[in-house]
Each structure stands twice: as structure tokens, then as C-alpha cells.
A and B are shown apart, each in its own frame.
Chain A
Amino acid sequence: MSVGLAAVLQAAVLAAIVAATAGPLGNHLARTFTTDRDLAPERWIYRLGGIDPRADQRWTSYLISLLAFSLASILAVIAFLQLQAHLPLSNGMGAMPFHQALNTAISFTTNTNWQSYSGEAAVGHFAQMAALAVQNFASAAVGIAVVAALIRGFTRERTDRLGSFWVDLVRGVVRVLLPGAAIAAIVLVLGGVVQNLDAPHEITTLTGGHQQLLGGPVASQEAIKELGTNGGGFFNANSAHPLENPSPFTNLFENALMLVIPFGLVSAFGVMVGNRRQARTVSLVMATILGLMVLGTTVSELAHPGTASQLAGAAMEGKETRLGVPASTLFAASTTGTSTGAVNAAHDSLSALAGGALILNMGLGEVAPGGTGSGLYGMLILAMVAVFIAGLMVGRTPEYLGKRLGPGELKLIAGYILVTPALVLLGTGVALAFDGPTSSILNSGPHGLSEVLYAFTSAANNNGSAFGGLTSATTFYDLALALAMLLGRFLPIVLVLALAASIGRQGRVPVTAGTLPTDTRLFAGLLLGVVLVIAGLTYLPALALGPLAEGVR
């Protein structure tokens, strides 16, 4: 079978798995966030936490609970990483430098999983499990909670209550992420992923040399790393590492894990607002963008432009033999489209245009289909922009799902759209203006600019993947990228919750002949245009200086 045909069929298998799970998972997610019944383990958690699960919170209270939980998480992760030498199963790993621990703590609590450290060289098993894996669950559940609150803003009327953050957080973990990750972890073990608590131990190789054989609770971490769109690898090489991703099967499985919750949440949105066609429109736009990204990166990598790749005869630098080009680009488009940031190939070694496409994919705001929760709230914000633009054309007050988008709402939406590009472009600009940060660049010329642009795009959009040539374990990058991750996560969340409250307070506008239908192909086309135009106008100048300049030279 030709590479091209196999590539198409491989992508089709992935699409079929995601399409088949989205409906049932969507129903389950919708039930999770609408039912009044608590499960027994959830009641125990509420009792231990001293939480009243029936307390319906205002947006400010919901936000303060969320921020309090995230602050406690950041402090806990820093403590684990600084004190790991005194913990069991630490394999002799010492305290992480403070700026790196701070970066890592913010990275994992914001669902980014940017890794300034190398897993096998810096983090012991206990800190991997009790600090990093916990945040893989929690940060994913926080994102899902925020979108649940936003959807309640649409479904409720004349109320200032958005639900309970604690209930949304706990249910997301107990009903969705924990059972999903447990099953996925076992599948991964059966597929060859390592899962034990062993410290590295030396063996004698076939030729009499010496090699360290590594172990660790890898499969359990890998499962939630992908399912929660986190992306932080147990090992430095992430999903390119054969102990994390040993075969083409585990690779496809991990690829599917990243996509199921983001698409499942869209389906849940359709159930919760009582109109599945609204969800299908959103899914269509997400899937179209993702498909274009897969196509673009795969074609570029198979054509393998670039002096080195042409000389080698194929774009295999930074790619694993068992995966090859198509499985690497499929994963790359999925990981940048979902805010996961796991990588199964070196993005820095991709052809210029493929690397540029990945930067753009993140720059769209992580909405195709985006991270757990954050992808859907990002896309709903863009849908509201699309409604606003359509409203300008026909001279009507914009409405989305029966809620009016007045000046107050539009200010929040505009703020949301501006936050991440500002962080990306300012951050990149500052880094390039100084000698210290620019000396971290590995590849010279336009490709070096791409490394820095990629880093800030990844951090501010909470993706976490990297052009790994950039030496980011410096005080400047640890702190600058931590700030980008922090603001890129929590400023949008503040705006989304404020927006949810603002539309929740409204009554429902009746549908009339003048209402713009938002569940049609026409609207899908408009939304697609809005997504591409906003990101395109924002990032084109920067992309022109980096990947485009390298690609056309």
C-alpha cells in the first residue's frame, strides 16, 4: 500500500473512533453536569472538603473557588518538586530550582504542561504521581467546569447562579476522567507501555556495554496526559519515547484519547442547550480546521522541503521508524489543535511550512477542537463574534442561542479575543529584543525566530508543545513563559465566567423570522471564516518572519 493511501486510511480510522465516541460521551457528560444526584464517592469528597454541594454560586464566587483551588494546586506542586528528595520513590532526584518548579507548577495547573525540565533527569516517581498526574486530572476538570458554567448561562434564565465549581470539578474527575484514564491506562499497558515503580537499574547489553533500564508509573500518567489534553511527558522525548508510545496502535490510541473529550463536550453542549444541530455546526467547523491542518502538515512532510530533508531522502529527522511521517503529522496536528502538547516527533525538525501550520493551529486559540473545556468555550466565543459580524451586516442586535449580545457582552468577548495574541506577540517581541533570551535559540535564521514564537504561542494558548531546540530552562524563559501560561489561562476564564453570568441574567429572546440561524452550514462557513481571519490577521506578520521566510527561501 502506498504511503499516501495508508495515511488517508489511518486518519479515517482515527476520525471514525472519535465520531463513534462523541455521541455517547456527550450524553454522559451532559448528564454529569445537569443531574441532581451525587454518587457515594462524591459525597465523601464533599464531606472531607467541607463543601455544600447544593450551593449554587454566583460567578464571582465560582471564580474565587476556581482561583483558590488553582492557587492551592500551584503551591502544592512547587512544594512536591522542591521537597522530592525527602519523598519515597524519588530515585535520588534533588530539589528542582525554584524558577523551574514555579514554571512547572503553573504549567501543570493551567493544563499547559510546558516542560522546562527533563522527566527522567529531574522528577522522581512520587512527584510524577502525586504532583503532576493529579494536576493532569484537576486542570482538565477545571476547564470542563468553566464550559459547563458557560453553557448554564445559555440554558438558564434570569438568574445570577452558575452552579457549583466544587461539584463540577469533583464530578469531572470522578465520573469522566478517572474511569476513562483507568481503562485507557490498562489498554496502554497491554499495548506495551511500562507501568511499575522501579528505579533505573543497570543491565549489561548484548555487546557487553552498560545501559540503564528505566521504569515508572508511565501508563497511568500517559492515559490522563492525553485524555485530559495535558501533554506533559513522563520522559523528555514525550510520546516519541518508546516506553510511552511503543507501537503504531498505542500511537493511534493516544491520538484518539486527546480528541474524545473535546469533541464529546461539543456533543454535550448540544444536549444541554436542547439542539443537537447547534453542536453539529460547531463540530463541523472544528473538524474542518483539524482536517486542513492534518492535510497541510502531512503533504508538507511527505514532500519534505529543506536542504537536510532533501539530502536524507525523507523527513525522518526527529521521527520514529515505527510511526513514520503520516502518524507523526496526524499526531502533531491533533496535539496542537487540542492544546495537549504531547509530541511523538520533534516539531523543531518539521519542514518550515508544517511547523508554521502548527503555530497557526495553536494561534487559532486552541479551538479545533481545543483542550478539555477550553476548546469549546473558545469556539463559543468565536461563534458569538460570528453572530456579531453577521448582525452588523444585516443591522440587527446579535443573538446566540436566545441570548442577546449587547455592548457589555461584546466587551468581554473582545477582551477574550485580545488576551492571548497580546501575550504571544509581546512575549516574543521582548524575548527577541534581548541577548540572553536569543542566545537560547538553537537553529539560526528565520527558524530561530520560529522557535521563540512557538514557545510563546504554546505557553499563552496553554498548549505546552515546543520547538525543542530552544533552551528554555533559563530564568528568563521559566518566568516569562510561566506568566504567559498563567495570564493565558486565567484571564480568559475570568471573562468567560463574567460572560456566562451576564447572559444568564437575561431572559430568552423569542426566535423570529429575523433571527440568524446558527445551526446551518452557512453559519458554519461564517464561523470558519471568522476563526481563520482573526488568527490570520493576528499572526501573519510574525509567521511571515519565521516559517514563511524559511519556507520560501
Chain B
Amino acid sequence: MSASASLRQFAAAVRVLLVLTAICGVAYPLAVTAVAQVISPGTANGSRVEVGGKTVGSRLIAQPFDGPGWFQPRPSGAGEDGYDTLASAPSNLGPNNDDLVAAIKERRAAYAEANGVPVSEVPADAVTASGSGLDPHISPENARLQVARVARERDLAPERVRALVDDATQGRTLGVLGEARVNVLELNARLIETK
């Protein structure tokens, strides 16, 4: 093929790319956005959680909770101090990594002490960082082991806190997809409404 024919092909390529950019890169995402904002604005805008009329977060995004009176999310590797939504990331530490072993040992001891349980009972999700660093959930076992501590700190009956946890527990979808879980932000938001 001659050079001029190749050049013609390149000109055609540029024009087709421009048209595809207009269709797939502008019209398509804007149309999906418009439909999404009409039929499901709640999810399309990040599944916000409101308390007292104010947005306090997204039910999909973990946030740190300082203090023993709150249910604690999983450890986070997102950003310097964790839970940084502008730096979602796992730790990427390998299954035999010494730093990870040390971190897990430390987290296990801290969790066991804070919740008054033997180290052998500390759940795996409580001592490992998630894939995103923003995992909004903890396992139901992890939530239940935190009930006594949270109830004591908040001067609530353990049964009431335990009922909140049971209420917030979601099973596997259709019984087989994913894993059972408890949303930490929603649970803590319910907690402050409980007197």
C-alpha cells in the first residue's frame, strides 16, 4: 500500500475516532447519568447516610471511629492514616510478609484486650486490611464480639446492642453470593439514636 493510501487511512481513523468519542465518550456516559439520576438518585449519588438531616457519609465507604464506644471497622491501608477515600488501596503485603505478620499480631492483641476475648477468638477480618481500604462492612462474628464493649461504654443493655447488630446483619445474597456482613456506619448511626 502506498504512503498516500496509508495517510488516507489515518485520516479516516481520526474521523472515526472523533465520532466514537462523541458517542461512547460523551453521549453514552451522559445518557446513563441522566437515566440513573431519574430512576435511582440514591445509589447514583453514592448511597449517602443522613443523620439529623445531614449527610454523615456513604453506606458504601468505611470511616474511622475513634473511641471504644463505637463499632470498629476493619484496618485500612488507604492512605497514610487509613480510610482515605482519595487513596483507595490494599496493603499488597504477601501471605508470608514479615511486616504483615507483625501487624496482625499487634492488631490481634489490641482487639483481644479491647473486647475482653482470647486472642484465639479474634476474627480474621478484624486483623486484616481489605482490598479497597474502604470496606464498609465487618463480619457478623466481629460485630458480636464488640457488643459487650460498646454496651458497657454507652451504658446500654447488651441485649439492645446485640439486637441492633442482628438487625444490621445481612446474609449471603440469595443464600449463596458473597458473605454475611454488618455495615459499620449504619450500625453506629443506629447506635446514637438508641438511648
Whether B156 is near chain A, meaning CB under 8 Å from some CB there, is: no
CB neighbours of A236 from chain B (8 A): 87-89
Which residues in chain A, 173-222, are within 8 Å of chain B measured between CB atoms? 173, 178, 181-182, 185-186, 189-198, 200, 203-207, 209, 211-215, 217, 219-221
Whether A515 is near chain B, meaning CB under 8 Å from some CB there, is: no
Interchain CB contact under 8 A, A211 and B105:
no
Our pick among A131, A196, A320, A348 for the contact of B44 (Cβ within 8 Å) is: A196
CB neighbours of B25 from chain A (8 A): 129-131, 133-134
Interchain CB contact under 8 A, A49 and B19:
yes
Interchain CB contact under 8 A, B177 and A213:
no
**Cα of A129 to Cα of B22 in the assembled complex, Å:** 10
Interchain CB contact under 8 A, B172 and A166:
no
With both beta carbons as reference points, the residue of chain A lying nearest to B64 in the complex is identified as A209
**Cα of A218 to Cα of B51 in the assembled complex, Å:** 26
CB neighbours of B123 from chain A (8 A): 313
CB neighbours of A197 from chain B (8 A): 33
Interchain CB contact under 8 A, A118 and B87:
yes
Q: Assuming the A-B contacts A198-B45, A240-B90, A442-B92, are A61 and B1 also in contact, with contact meaning beta carbons closer than 8 angstroms in the complex?
A: yes
Our pick among A72, A305, A321, A468 for the contact of B92 (Cβ within 8 Å) is: A468
Interchain CB contact under 8 A, A242 and B104:
no
Interchain CB contact under 8 A, B33 and A213:
no
CB neighbours of B12 from chain A (8 A): 49-51, 65, 68, 166
**Cα of A330 to Cα of B169 in the assembled complex, Å:** 24
Which residues in chain B, 22-39, are within 8 Å of chain A measured between CB atoms? 23-26, 28-29, 31-33, 35-37, 39
CB neighbours of A203 from chain B (8 A): 55-57
Interchain CB contact under 8 A, A213 and B136:
no
Whether A383 is near chain B, meaning CB under 8 Å from some CB there, is: no
Mark contacts of A464-482 with chain B using CB atoms, 8 A cut-off: 1 yes-contact digit, 0 otherwise: 0001110000000000000
With both beta carbons as reference points, the residue of chain B lying nearest to A347 in the complex is identified as B92
Interchain CB contact under 8 A, A311 and B101:
yes
Interchain CB contact under 8 A, B88 and A241:
yes
Interchain CB contact under 8 A, B92 and A348:
yes
CB neighbours of B37 from chain A (8 A): 195-196
- Closest Cβ of chain A to B193, distance in Å, is 11
Stretch from B146-154, B160-168, B181-189 that touches the partner: B181-189
**Cα of A447 to Cα of B98 in the assembled complex, Å:** 12
**Cα of A214 to Cα of B47 in the assembled complex, Å:** 11
Q: Assuming the A-B contacts A241-B132, A242-B61, are A72 and B13 also in contact, with contact meaning beta carbons closer than 8 angstroms in the complex?
A: yes
Q: Assuming the A-B contacts A194-B46, A235-B88, are A248 and B57 also in contact, with contact meaning beta carbons closer than 8 angstroms in the complex?
A: no
12 residue pairs A–B, Cβ–Cβ below 8 Å? A10-B177, A48-B16, A76-B21, A130-B25, A130-B26, A138-B24, A194-B47, A196-B44, A207-B67, A242-B136, A311-B104, A312-B127
